[in-house]
Amino acid sequence: MKNTNAVTAFLALGQESRLNIFRLIVQKGDRGLTPTQLNELLGIPSATLSFHLKELLHAELIRVERQSRNLIYRPNARLVQKLSEFLLDNCCGGKSCLPTKSLKKEKA
């Protein structure tokens, strides 16, 4: 992944409403959400929601599909995975960043 692609995605997620919209879409996965459902869940005015969805689409973080009269927004799982890999590439000098003991064992 190029830095410019990552910057575009992170800039799109750098706005609280867009981040909330994106998180809800990701939570629904392949089922996706319609603008009406997003509006009901978040209470964002339709024009504002449309603007934010357009920004997320431009950053390729989400995809849209028309089903009959409805638009269904779903996460672009491939890009989300690439962003995670981009962030974790060479993390911790190539060693595992996870602690050797689990937190549950340490608390016991």
Domains, the chain, ordered by start: 3-89 (1.10.10.10)
pLDDT in tens, 8-64: 999 999 999 999 999 999 999 999 999 999 999 999 999 999 999 999 999 999 999
Are 65 and 32 within 8 A, CB to CB?
A: yes
**pLDDT for 55-73, tens place per residue?**
999 999 999 999 999 999 9
The label of the residue with tokens 């959400």 reads 33
Quick one: tokens of 14?
């750098």
pLDDT-derived band at 87 (thresholds 50, 70, 90) equals confident
Return the H-helix or E-strand segment holding 72. strand 70-75
